[in-house]
A and B are shown apart, each in its own frame.
Chain A
Amino acid sequence: MMTIPKSTSGARILTAAAAVSIAAMALTACGGPGTGSAGPSVEAGSGEGTINVWAVDGQAAENDALKKIISSFESSQSKIKVNLKLFPSDQYTKAVNSAAPGDLPDVLDFDGPTLASFVYNGKMAPLKGSVSDATLSNQTDSIKAQNTVDNAAYGVGMMNAGLALWGNKKLLNAAGVAYPTTPEKAWTAEEFTGVLDKLATVVPGGKPLDLSEQYGFAGEWGTCCSAGPVIWSGGGTMLKDNKASGALDSEANVKSLTKFASWKKFTDPNADGLAFTNGRVALSWVGHWTYPTYKALGSDLVSIPLPNFGKGTKTASGTFAWGMGATTKNGTAAGKFLDFLMSDESVHTYTDANGAPPATKTSLATSSLYGPGKQLQLLGDQLSKACGTEDKINDNCVSVTRPVTAGYPVVTDQVGKAEAAIYAGKDAKEALSAAARAIDQNFADNDGYKK
């Protein structure tokens, strides 16, 4: 008894630790972060009470608009109160993904391409039956495509997203550059290089282009709005039949992205976000959300289609939309709130704040920015020429929906990483092949994300 070998307490500690770990494993096997619930279990509820709403802490103007909409919702009726929570955008997806089923909110904001993985992970409920049919049928086609998974609508959107090359007419004229205003006439990538050459002489720093580098190509911006349009316009895709090898690393993509990276020498890093408004650059490759600041240029602000890499100009569509938590006990009240969000008045309040194209048919028709002869007509036209998903691209359509797959988190991480590397000077073939293999490996490990 007296001579216990020295190591026993150490061994005991390890045994205890192992026991704790195994207990933890057991925990995670039933309700930890590793498990989705067994599908949505929505209850209609009484249609009264307080609903929890989660959203991304966006631009100050968007937050104010959202709060305004909520307060008018609360004053329009007396039965439903809204409890809003805002999350920093870099932490939002993690928050939704790691919420236990009981902690999910009744209504949540989500970024279009994350929807498929949220649905796959059992975080979202289909809207039919809670949201009115009138609301669902009033959604524009391209936003419908984004919010539909397995033929069921999981989200409704107030806004769509549009990309363009914003141009400074004064500088363009000074360099003697004629610019296209319709998608059919977009500059080819070759012509674009020549245009940059000319423009370099009229801007103070000699770098006439802004590619929104400040957002970081290694993240969602790189996939959606930078690499995406370049790849699609060059005739390539990110995935083909759920596989990246042979699609993402195709010769066409290598060529397009190498071309894109060659413009780095003309590019202002725009860390302050002011390159365009301060006149340091003549062209800015960015989304509609800069319109509220860019409109300071007045009539000198023009929108130009993105360069054409061979298969016509392409842009990404899809953005943040609204859905219901998988386990809401207040389906009716949540539906009422979503209906209110999608009313013309709410949509206008919101899209006026951020310059986005409205995503409901009725508010698009009455928009003061989007429509024939309006200042942002081009962005609206691009969205009306919707291609749908990658596999349906042709020469004449313009806006493409990002791949709808539960494996999107991996796709975006790898595509963004590859684009950033190519832009920093890495060989495109190498970067894209590595990304493609990583994506395929992940899909294989998850049986192609089939239910």
Chain B
Amino acid sequence: MSDEFDRIKEVYREEATERLAELENAMLELEQDPENMDIIASAFRAMHTIKGSGAMFGHDDIAEFTHEVESTYDRVRNGDLPVTPKLIALTLSAHDHIKALLEGHDKPGSVDMSIGEAIVLEFRNLLSAPIEKTQPEEKPKAQQSRQEKQQPALEQDTDPEKTITFRIRFTPSTDIFANGTNPAPLLKELQELGEAVIIADTHLIPPIKEMDPELCYVSWDILLTTNRGINAIKDVFIFVEDVCEVHIDVIDDATFQEGNYKKLGEILIERGDLKPEDLQQVLGGQKPIGKILEDSGLVPPDKIQSALAEQHRVRDTHEKRQQGESSSSIRVDSEKLDKLVDLVGELVTVQARLTQWANMKSDSDLTLISEEVERLTTELRDNTMSVRMLPIGSTFNKFRRLVRDLSNDLGKKVVIQTEGAETELDKTVIEQLNDPLVHIIRNSIDHGIESPETRIAEGKPEEGTILLTAAHSGAHVLIQIQDDGAGLNVNAIRSKAVERGLLYHDTEMSDTEIFNLIFAPGFSTAKQVTSVSGRGVGMDVVKKSINALRGSIDIQSKMGQGTTITLKLPLTLAIIDGLLVKIDREFFVLPLSSVEECVELSREDVAKAHNRHVAYVRNEIIPYIRLREQFGLDGEPPEIEQVVITEVSNRRVGFVVDYVIGEHQTVIKSLGKMYRDVEGISGATILGDGTVALILDINQLTHSAEEIESSLVH
């Protein structure tokens, strides 16, 4: 940027030199032909350019000095001042001085400033001599500040304490479009200043036959709550203030008394939309005033809408202000929160028991109470959970440094962009998400993003981009890590997998399945082991940690275009909605978020499939796992069993159970030391009657079933 600017400055210097030559020529010609207005005009233009650009390229001295000469020539141009030999001589010495300033710019002190002052003085004398009533010439400095004022102001006069609500009535002249003004960007600019409610008043739009599409018939009422002050609003309308009507009124600031805001009628009268006597006349009916006025045709509906919006806006601002004064955040020890969540969990369990008991007793009073308790418990649960929610933004920010350091180490150029930093997730989920994300981002920079040279050769921007996004999706949060690097090489992964004996060379696999191979322990296609990645530890760790969070991971990649890794995570770890099922006398819970549907499975269906563990559901073959066999439970299955179909890493897998009981709010209890590593179980929950139900880890179950299957096949 500064190089570019230096180059432009150099252009200015060359140009100014040229212009000075023009000025010199003009003076010499003017000596012969003092009346020639064309020559005077060109001299004026030369000075105008030197002055105008001078200030923009850091030559304030030149700009100030030339301003004096230019003012004189403005008079000459207008015929107020004759061209005299003295003027020409003076201009020539001014020319020499500007030239000296220009050349001496890089060497401070090389120019004798007193020469300039002397010339300025002479010019001023020249100006004041022939015209008697010349006003004292403004100093360039003052001139400067006046110009600044006329410039659309940029400086923000921001005072957070001074939040004021303005009512702005913007009535453009009908021919506003004729000078290229579009009101829409102006309204947008207002919206950027603060919270704005914009109401268009369209009642002047004529029927389409009479309408001239080149005219503007609409006016706007804007209610703007901002802390930027009235000048910022005036600046928005700076180009249109002489052709449009703009009224700006303060309708609310912090000094106003709290309480009910003005009534609708009062607002309309204050705005001049309604006469007081008309209001008196209509006041008497029973209907709301807005309705009466609209029916009577005294005020157009748009105007009423606008006034109502003002009423609401001010009420809202008042409410917010009160909230802002009374409630601020407090810091709480996170252990206390954990304890609270625990207690809420217990309460949810007790409530489940109460519901069950009430159902059994068929006592209507008890049922009523139990329903009330259920409603409150659910609300309490949701509120408690939301207390533990934190925006993911702080985690995202940590990665900026990581990306910067890593890309420097590896000699790559990478920028990270984030979206959805405000997305909230359970505190514990966020904490456990850090390491997997670090691994994924490292991989993206190391394997994904190419070196700047390669990228340029492939026609990509030199700088690689990693886009980190978070978004809510139902009871889940989706976190995406997207890079625009080389993408995964399907063939390389495949041959590496064959080499490592993970699959046979003729095994048919979809790209997605092949991508999933990178999660196998010790898998790496990197030719070189760098300090950052390539040892093949990482992606399997990522997979494990995401599974531990009961999340799933998905990879999309296109060769040469980049890779997108999507993590799907539950919002919270403590309580989930589950599907309660029963096998023999045992209860199990499946996470409801993974459940897609339940279908029946009769003995006949099993026979049709030749006892293979597949079910046909609407022409789709879905493999299933018999939980009865999986957990070695005794007893005869019922005549008709149930298949709970779930989605696991983009595939549909069924789980066969005896009965599906229904939805169950599940408070997750971790298992004791002894059972912590049992495969296929991620935790336990206590049912209403006190029995324990195990929570199934469907990811792990599917995975181990697959392993057994493939060992049987091969």
Q: Do A and B come from one complex?
A: no
- Chain A residues with CB under 8 Å of chain B are none
- Chain B residues with CB under 8 Å of chain A are none
